[in-house]
Amino acid sequence: MAQQKKTRNDEKSQARAERRAEKKAENEKLYQEVMAEYSAEEVPAVPEKPKSSNKLLKRIGIVLFVILNAAVIYFTASSEFSKKAPAPIHFSFTNILFLLGGILCLVVVLGCETVKYMLMMRHLGEKVSFRHAFSTAALGKYYDCITPSGAGGQPFQIYYLHSNGYSDGAASAMPLSGFFTMQFGFVILCIFAFIFGNWAIDATGQTGIKITAYFGAVAYTIVPVMIIISGVAPKIAMRIVAFFVRIGARLHIVKKPNHTIMKAVRYLNNYSMNIKLITKDRGLLIKLLILSTVFQTAMCSMPFFAVRTFDGNMNYFQSLFLCIFIQAAISLIMTPGNSGAAEGSFYLVFSSLSTAGTFWAMLIWRFLCYYSFIVIGLLIYGYNAIVKLREKRKAKQLNEKAE
Per residue in 201-212, pLDDT tens? 777 777 777 888
- CA 132 to centroid of chain Cα atoms: 16
pLDDT, residue 34, reads: 46
pLDDT of residue 42: 43
pLDDT at res. 52: 46
Asked if residue 1 is part of any domain, the answer here is no
Residue 240 vs residues 38, 178, 306: alpha-carbon distances, Å: 20, 25, 43
**Is-contact 186 296, C-beta < 8 A?**
yes
Half-sphere exposure of 130 toward its Cβ, with a 13 Å CA cutoff? Answer: 1
pLDDT digits (tens, 9 = 90+) for 362-394: 788 888 888 888 889 889 988 888 888 888 888
The candidate with the shortest Cα–Cα distance to 116, out of 275, 287, 274, is: 287
Question: What's the Rg (C-alpha) of the chain?
Answer: 24
Instruction: Please give the Cα distance from 271 to 225 (Å, whole number).
Output: 11
DSSP character string of 296-358: HHHHHHHHHHHHHHTT----HHHHHHHHHHHHHHHTT--SBTTTTHHHHHHHHHHGGG--TTH
- Residues 308, 328: contact at Cβ < 8 Å? no
CA distance 287 to 308: 31
* pLDDT tens for the 403 residues of the chain, in order: 666 666 666 666 777 667 666 666 655 554 455 445 444 444 444 344 444 445 555 556 556 655 655 665 555 555 555 555 555 556 677 888 999 999 999 999 999 999 999 999 988 888 888 999 999 999 988 888 777 655 677 888 888 888 888 887 788 888 888 888 888 899 999 999 999 988 877 777 777 778 888 888 888 888 777 777 776 677 777 778 778 778 877 777 777 777 777 777 777 777 677 777 777 778 888 999 999 999 999 999 998 898 888 877 778 898 888 888 888 887 766 555 555 445 556 666 666 555 556 777 878 888 888 888 888 988 998 888 888 888 888 877 777 777 6
Is the Cβ–Cβ distance between 173 and 274 less than 8 Å?
yes
- Compute how many other C-beta atoms are within 10 angstroms of the C-beta atom of residue 166: 22
Q: In the beta sheet, which residues pair with residue 148? A: 336
Task: Determine the pLDDT at residue 191.
Answer: 92
Tell me what pLDDT residue 190 has.
92
How many CB atoms are located within 10 Å of the residue 143 CB?
A: 22
146-155 burial, b at 16+ Cβ within 10 Å, e below that, comes to bbeebebbbb
In a domain, 14, yes or no: no
Residue 368 per-residue DSSP state: I
Contact between 272 and 57 (Cβ < 8 Å): no
DSSP string of 90-150?
---HHHHHHHHHHHHHHHHHHHHHHHHHHHHHHHTT----HHHHHHHHHHHHHHHHHSBTT
CA–CA separation, 152 and 171 (whole Å): 15
Q: Is residue 289 part of a domain?
A: yes
Residue 309 is assigned to a structural domain of this protein = yes
Cα–Cα distance for residue pair 394/382, rounded to 1 Å: 18
Tell whether 66 is covered by a domain.
no
Contact between residue 298 and residue 101 where contact means Cβ atoms under 8 Å apart? no
**Amino acid of residue 281:** D
Say what the pTM is. Answer: 0.75
Residue 32 lies in a domain: no
Judged by phi (left if over 0) then psi (alpha if -120 to 50, else beta), residue 339 lies in: beta
Question: How many residues does this entry show for the chain?
Answer: 403
pLDDT number for residue 288: 93
Residue 166, in any domain of the structure: yes
Read off the amino acid at residue 353.
Answer: L
Report yes or no on 103 lying in a domain.
yes
Q: What's the domain range around 341?
A: 97-385
- Alpha helices by DSSP H, 147-206: 153-163, 168-196, 198-202
State how far the alpha carbon of 316 is from the alpha carbons of 305, 321, 323, in Å.
9, 9, 11
Q: How many domains does the chain contain in total?
A: 1
For 73, other C-beta atoms within 10 Å of its C-beta total 17
Q: What is the pLDDT of residue 220?
A: 81
Residue 74: CB atoms within 10 A of its CB come to 10
Count of beta carbons in the 10 Å neighbourhood of residue 338 = 23
